[in-house]
Amino acid sequence: MSFTENDRKFRSNSGKSFPDGDSYDGQRIVGALAEALRADFGSTPSSMKQIARLTRANERTIRNWMDARNGPRGENLIVLMQHSDAVFEIVLTLAHRVHAPGGMFLIRLREQLMDAVSTIDALEAGQA
Protein backbone atom coordinates (compact mmCIF):
# COMPACT_ATOMS: atom_id res chain seq x y z
CA MET A 1 0.00 0.00 0.00
CA SER A 2 1.44 3.34 -0.96
CA PHE A 3 0.77 6.67 0.64
CA THR A 4 -0.92 9.45 -1.27
CA GLU A 5 0.44 12.93 -1.75
CA ASN A 6 -2.33 14.28 0.51
CA ASP A 7 -1.18 12.46 3.63
CA ARG A 8 -0.88 14.34 6.87
CA LYS A 9 2.27 16.37 7.18
CA PHE A 10 3.92 16.18 10.58
CA ARG A 11 6.11 19.25 10.19
CA SER A 12 5.55 22.52 8.48
CA ASN A 13 7.58 23.16 5.36
CA SER A 14 7.24 26.94 5.69
CA GLY A 15 9.70 27.22 8.56
CA LYS A 16 7.32 29.47 10.50
CA SER A 17 7.04 29.03 14.24
CA PHE A 18 5.23 30.64 17.13
CA PRO A 19 6.63 33.97 18.34
CA ASP A 20 8.98 33.64 21.25
CA GLY A 21 7.99 36.17 23.91
CA ASP A 22 11.00 35.83 26.22
CA SER A 23 13.35 34.33 23.63
CA TYR A 24 13.28 30.92 25.32
CA ASP A 25 14.33 28.23 23.00
CA GLY A 26 12.89 24.78 23.52
CA GLN A 27 16.29 23.23 24.08
CA ARG A 28 16.98 25.52 27.04
CA ILE A 29 13.71 24.55 28.69
CA VAL A 30 14.20 20.84 28.01
CA GLY A 31 17.77 21.04 29.33
CA ALA A 32 16.67 22.78 32.52
CA LEU A 33 13.96 20.19 33.12
CA ALA A 34 16.46 17.37 32.54
CA GLU A 35 18.82 18.86 35.13
CA ALA A 36 15.97 19.20 37.61
CA LEU A 37 14.91 15.58 37.08
CA ARG A 38 18.46 14.35 37.59
CA ALA A 39 18.83 16.51 40.70
CA ASP A 40 15.74 15.08 42.40
CA PHE A 41 15.61 11.53 41.09
CA GLY A 42 19.15 10.77 39.93
CA SER A 43 19.95 9.19 36.58
CA THR A 44 20.00 5.51 37.46
CA PRO A 45 17.75 2.98 35.72
CA SER A 46 15.76 2.55 38.94
CA SER A 47 15.05 6.28 39.08
CA MET A 48 13.85 6.20 35.49
CA LYS A 49 11.50 3.35 36.42
CA GLN A 50 10.24 5.37 39.37
CA ILE A 51 9.49 8.35 37.11
CA ALA A 52 7.81 6.00 34.61
CA ARG A 53 5.55 4.66 37.37
CA LEU A 54 4.66 8.18 38.51
CA THR A 55 3.87 9.54 35.05
CA ARG A 56 2.75 6.27 33.41
CA ALA A 57 5.10 7.08 30.55
CA ASN A 58 7.36 4.68 28.69
CA GLU A 59 10.89 4.26 30.08
CA ARG A 60 12.33 5.27 26.71
CA THR A 61 10.37 8.51 26.97
CA ILE A 62 11.83 9.09 30.43
CA ARG A 63 15.34 8.48 29.09
CA ASN A 64 14.70 11.11 26.39
CA TRP A 65 13.63 13.56 29.11
CA MET A 66 16.72 12.83 31.17
CA ASP A 67 19.00 13.17 28.14
CA ALA A 68 17.30 16.49 27.21
CA ARG A 69 16.17 15.20 23.83
CA ASN A 70 12.50 15.90 24.55
CA GLY A 71 10.50 17.45 27.34
CA PRO A 72 7.46 16.13 29.15
CA ARG A 73 4.03 17.10 27.88
CA GLY A 74 1.56 18.95 30.06
CA GLU A 75 0.02 16.09 32.03
CA ASN A 76 3.39 14.54 32.78
CA LEU A 77 4.92 17.88 33.70
CA ILE A 78 2.20 18.46 36.28
CA VAL A 79 2.77 15.02 37.80
CA LEU A 80 6.51 15.70 37.92
CA MET A 81 5.89 19.05 39.59
CA GLN A 82 3.80 17.27 42.24
CA HIS A 83 6.61 14.86 43.09
CA SER A 84 9.76 16.92 42.45
CA ASP A 85 10.66 20.18 44.17
CA ALA A 86 13.43 20.80 41.63
CA VAL A 87 11.04 20.49 38.68
CA PHE A 88 8.52 22.72 40.44
CA GLU A 89 11.18 25.35 41.09
CA ILE A 90 12.58 25.31 37.56
CA VAL A 91 9.12 25.69 36.02
CA LEU A 92 8.42 28.68 38.26
CA THR A 93 11.83 30.13 37.44
CA LEU A 94 11.36 29.71 33.70
CA ALA A 95 7.93 31.35 34.00
CA HIS A 96 9.44 34.25 36.00
CA ARG A 97 7.10 33.35 38.87
CA VAL A 98 9.58 32.49 41.62
CA HIS A 99 7.83 34.74 44.12
CA ALA A 100 4.33 33.66 43.13
CA PRO A 101 1.96 32.79 45.99
CA GLY A 102 2.44 29.13 46.81
CA GLY A 103 5.98 29.18 45.44
CA MET A 104 8.76 27.12 46.94
CA PHE A 105 9.65 29.89 49.37
CA LEU A 106 6.30 29.64 51.13
CA ILE A 107 6.31 25.86 51.05
CA ARG A 108 9.77 25.67 52.65
CA LEU A 109 8.88 28.34 55.20
CA ARG A 110 5.77 26.38 56.20
CA GLU A 111 7.82 23.18 56.58
CA GLN A 112 10.37 24.99 58.74
CA LEU A 113 7.62 26.42 60.95
CA MET A 114 6.02 23.00 61.35
CA ASP A 115 9.41 21.53 62.30
CA ALA A 116 9.91 24.29 64.86
CA VAL A 117 6.47 23.67 66.38
CA SER A 118 7.08 19.92 66.61
CA THR A 119 10.46 20.57 68.27
CA ILE A 120 8.78 22.87 70.81
CA ASP A 121 6.10 20.26 71.47
CA ALA A 122 8.75 17.57 71.99
CA LEU A 123 10.67 19.79 74.41
CA GLU A 124 7.51 20.59 76.37
CA ALA A 125 6.55 16.91 76.52
CA GLY A 126 9.98 16.06 77.91
CA GLN A 127 9.74 18.69 80.64
CA ALA A 128 6.22 17.79 81.78
**What is the reported pLDDT for 80?**
95
The CA distance from 29 to 118, in Å, is 39
Question: pTM value?
Answer: 0.61
More confident residue, 4 or 127: 127
- Tell me which fold the domain 26-97 belongs to: 434 Repressor (Amino-terminal Domain) (1.10.260)
**What is the reported pLDDT for 57?**
94
Positive/negative CA dihedral, 10, 12, 15, 20: negative
Cβ-contact 29, 94 below 8 angstroms: yes
**What is the reported pLDDT for 103?**
62
Among residues 18, 38, 23, which one has the least CA distance to residue 90? Answer: 38
**What is the reported pLDDT for 85?**
87
CB contact set of 33 (below 8 Å; sequence gap of 6+):
65, 68, 71, 72, 77, 87, 90, 91
